[in-house]
Amino acid sequence: MKGFWSVYRKELYSLFASPIFYVVAFIFLVISGYFFYSIVAYYNVLSYQASQNPMMARQFNILEMIFRPFFLDLSVVLLLIAPLLTMRLFAEERKAGTLELLFTYPISDWAMVLAKFKAVMSAFGIILLGTLPGVLFVSVLGSPSWKPVACAYLGVFLLGGSFISLGVFTSSLTQNQIIAAVLSFGGLLLLWVIGWLKNVVESPIGEVADYLSFAKHFDSFAKGVLDSRDLLFYILFTVFFLFLTLRQMGSYRWRG
Amino acid sequence: MIEAEGLTKFYGSLPAIRDVSFQVEKGEVVGFLGPNGAGKSTTIRILTCYMPPTTGAARVNGLDCFEKSLEVRRVVGYLPESVPLYGEMTVTRFLRFAAAAKKVEARAIKKEIDRVVDVCALGKVSNRIIGHLSKGYRQRVGLAQALLNNPPVLVLDEPTIGLDPGQIIEIRKLIQELGGEHTILLSSHILPEVAQICQRVMIINKGQIIATDSPSNLTSRLQKTARLVIEVNGPAEPLIQALGQLKGVQKVTPGQENGGRMSIETDPGADLRAEIARLVIGKGLDLLELRAVDLSLEDIFVQLVTEEPSQEEPRS
């Protein structure tokens, strides 16, 4: 991993020096805050009704009624912002020609790809921390079990990892940041909705489409269920696209 | 120190360089000359491990640029032609990144940065954002990053382009100073510069090396004619005819103004100055000036690259 930390620090600096990060973080937190507020407010209304209806009160569950919808909403917002965090990674360096510096410094290609990935993951982690106050607020008042909540956070983080790995890859394809963002957004959206095919198309295509769907794998995390198949899916997805990025770097070198 | 062996690089089906071979010895300063698109940058990019060659091999310090890429990159300092830099960083921050990437020890980084900032005279701008710097300073920042970690080999692609005359002289002096302990390969358009700094010149055209020698040898070896300039007072027409009949004179070109200035091309080695002087006096004219002109490297360069290639298909 030669040169990993130097590139990682540089990428973090570039991320925090550019306004993109702050705008993206702001929008993400405003929208997720709005979702959180509306979900809690709805829960509030329901709990008022439940106080007059013991049958309904028995089915009440904070995890199911607040956290699950909240994390599902969060994942959709993430779909919108992930391409914005990753679009500049390689595209900007190609456009400015600085890739030539990185390619001629003693930095291995793997270290370069991983450092860039990790830098965006760190930034994403920081943004995600911004959602904690609301979650803590509900946890203190409602005292749900912390394990399912932690599981849901792990799910969001892994989902973010796959989104970002796809973004890293599309950014390596072009020197235009907009094209990189559009490609990764399109790819993510397609993989989000591809599971719908299951209801329309006969297996095995429907089965495959269902397996590839981000939404399907995320739902169990949002419910607080840690399933190794879903864990494996996100990890494999991330590794696959980072590997494709590495191949793309090699191909870029050969073409010159 | 640097060896290229039959380097060939195709971009798609278009050959950028073909069968380029040369060697640069330790401590040498070698200039790489050629018109735009001749393949200078391609060759340099192969030597600096930016891209692998289609065929052939390049070695730096005995290490293959493809097989031992990371090791080679540690001993080569490279200034790319377009001087790409991170515009959002300050000079110091950028150099700190470059030093870390080049494996300068953490404790030594500050000292090393101070050293290159000093060498490249960047002290005044070290805390400014690179994006706001003038072209001359950017060039020096590029040079500074190449010098980090004191690499034994320096590869500089057009190091003085875009600088003002004062800066050019400074950079040339700097390169000459570095020449003692570093092996330097530099490319340039500016021929007098190469003649001045480099001990050896390689001229590349259409992807092939067409001449390699010291600037002075190149001049004498390739000099197909010697040239004299004379100026006389009086009607020049009859003199031009008489000169044309003189043995050893190849061509007489009258000067642009209608005065008595003309340049005479003679066979190399034949010193006709005395005969010409007698001829002029014999015609009853006043001889105002008579001097031999050395063919400049520039003339040789133009001669070489404009020569019809013997067996080559045309290229765009």
Which of B220, B243, B278 corresponds to the end of one domain? B220
Closest to A70 measured CA to CA, from A47, A39, A41:
A39
Taking CB atoms and an 8 Å limit, are B11 and A255 in contact across chains?
Answer: yes
- The tokens for B296 are 């400049």
Q: Is B183 among the domain residues?
A: yes
**pLDDT score for B296:** 64
Please provide the size of chain B in residues: 316
Q: Give the distance from residue B108's alpha carbon to the nearest chain A alpha carbon, in angstroms.
A: 15
Name the residue in chain B with its Cα closest to that of A256. Answer: B51
A247 touches chain B (CB under 8 A): no
Taking CB atoms and an 8 Å limit, are A6 and B74 in contact across chains?
Answer: no
Per residue in B144-195, pLDDT (tens digit) is: 999 999 999 999 998 887 778 888 888 888 888 888 788 999 998 777 778 7
A12 touches chain B (CB under 8 A): no
| d(C-alpha A113, C-alpha A89), whole Å | 9
Taking CB atoms and an 8 Å limit, are A104 and B50 in contact across chains?
Answer: yes
Residue A128 pLDDT exceeds 60: yes
Taking CB atoms and an 8 Å limit, are A96 and B84 in contact across chains?
Answer: yes
Which of B192, B220, B248 corresponds to the end of one domain? B220
| d(C-alpha B220, C-alpha B298), whole Å | 13
| d(C-alpha B303, C-alpha B188), whole Å | 17
**pLDDT score for A138:** 85
Indicate if B162 and B240 belong to the same structural domain: no
Candidates B50, B55, B81, B93: best to mutate against A (most CBs of A within 10 A) is B50
Name the residue in chain A with its Cα closest to that of B43. Answer: A256
Range of the domain at B145: 2-220
| d(C-alpha B166, C-alpha B163), whole Å | 8
Single pTM value for the model: 0.84
Indicate if B56 and B70 belong to the same structural domain: yes
Per residue in A44-53, pLDDT (tens digit) is: 888 888 888 8
Q: What is the CATH number of the domain that holds B285?
A: 3.30.70.100
Q: CB under 8 Å to B136, separation ≥6 — which residues?
A: B162, B163, B164, B167
Mean pLDDT value of segment A181-196 = 92
Angle between helices A177-193 and A214-223 (to 10 degrees): 70
How many residue pairs from chains A and B have C-beta atoms closer than 8 A? Answer: 78
**pLDDT score for B292:** 77
- Provide the residue-wise pLDDT of chain B in tens; the chain has 316 residues: 899 999 999 988 888 999 999 999 888 899 988 887 888 889 999 999 999 999 999 999 889 988 888 999 999 999 998 899 999 999 999 999 999 999 888 899 999 999 999 988 889 999 999 999 988 889 889 999 999 999 999 999 988 877 788 888 888 888 888 887 889 999 987 777 787 888 888 888 888 888 888 877 776 666 666 778 888 887 777 788 888 888 778 888 877 666 678 888 877 767 778 888 888 888 888 888 888 776 666 666 776 666 644 444 444 4
Provide, as residue numbers in chain A, all residues whose Cβ is less than 8 Å from the Cβ of B85: 98, 101
Indicate if B41 and B177 belong to the same structural domain: yes
Provide, as residue numbers in chain A, all residues whose Cβ is less than 8 Å from the Cβ of B76: 104
Which of B203, B220, B237 corresponds to the end of one domain? B220
Provide, as residue numbers in chain B, all residues whose Cβ is less than 8 Å from the Cβ of A90: none
Angle between helices A88-96 and A109-129 (to 10 degrees): 130
Per residue in B115-124, pLDDT (tens digit) is: 999 988 889 9
Indicate if B39 and B183 belong to the same structural domain: yes
Closest to A183 measured CA to CA, from A81, A87, A79:
A87
**pLDDT score for B276:** 84
Provide, as residue numbers in chain B, all residues whose Cβ is less than 8 Å from the Cβ of A96: 84, 86-87
Q: Is B301 among the domain residues?
A: no
Counting the structural domains of chain B, the total is 2
Q: What is the ipTM of this complex?
A: 0.87
Q: CB under 8 Å to A168, separation ≥6 — which residues?
A: A86, A89, A90, A113, A116, A117, A120, A241, A242, A245
Taking CB atoms and an 8 Å limit, are A254 and B84 in contact across chains?
Answer: no
Indicate if B216 and B232 belong to the same structural domain: no
